[in-house]
Structure 1
């Protein structure tokens, strides 16, 4: 497996992975234009995992606002789950955030995404109570 920074060239394969990942919420904000803008605003922080033949196996979108990091669309192809790919993608994103001076990172998981909640708990993230998410 090859781990590297995500680029705009990864978009189509990443979107296919996201579409086929249970519990993944997609919206207009996940259009090619928006994702490329996000990658450009946060260069080198989002990560992908590809096979030697170039097949995309996992993604982790990550960036920061100058104060806190945020992670999105951490997904691993169903055939590669349990291999440590997701954990390594997250580790690499967090290392990039630390390099930028960011020490805290948040992420959102859809409430009924049991697989996602289990993954994050298993790798040491804590589910927070007492917070509400508002969107506009």
Structure 2
């Protein structure tokens, strides 16, 4: 297995992986090739892929705003789960953030994502109960569709 920094050349394989993940939410604009390319240009060293035999089996979009890092779309192909790939990618992304002087990392996991929430608890991330998460949608055309697979 190889863990490495994601590039835009990985988009087709990464997007194909996303489409296999049950319950995965894909945004029409943010998760398009153009949206991912914009994200990677802003955060060129922090997103991650895991490869086995030249096939991408895991990915994380990871970026920061200069103060706090954030993980998006953390996933591992179902056939390759429970082999430490997810944790290895998270460690790789966090090390990249540390090199950029980022001291805290957050993520959002949907409450119905039992597999994801179990993963984050297993690798000792802290679920916060002391805050509410708010958002304001600036572009109504950026629609989220959830995979039914």
Q: Aligned in 2, Cα 1:48/1:106: closer, same or farther, shift over 3 Å?
A: same
- Aligned pair count? 135
Query: 1:67 is paired with a residue of what secondary structure?
Result: coil
More helix by share: 1
1:94-129 C-alpha deviation (Å, 9 max, x unpaired): 000000000101101112011010001110111112
Q: Does 1:135 align with 2:136?
A: yes
CA RMSD in angstroms, aligned pairs only: 0.9
C-alpha distance in structure 2 between counterparts of 1:76 and 1:23, whole Å: 13
Q: Larger relative CO (CA 8 A, sep 6+): 1 or 2?
A: 2
C-alpha distance in structure 1 between counterparts of 2:136 and 2:57, whole Å: 30
C-alpha distance in structure 2 between counterparts of 1:71 and 1:132, whole Å: 15
Q: What runs of 5+ residues in structure 2 fail to find an aligned partner?
A: 138-149
Moved over 3 A (4+): none
Return the TM-score normalized by structure 2.
0.87
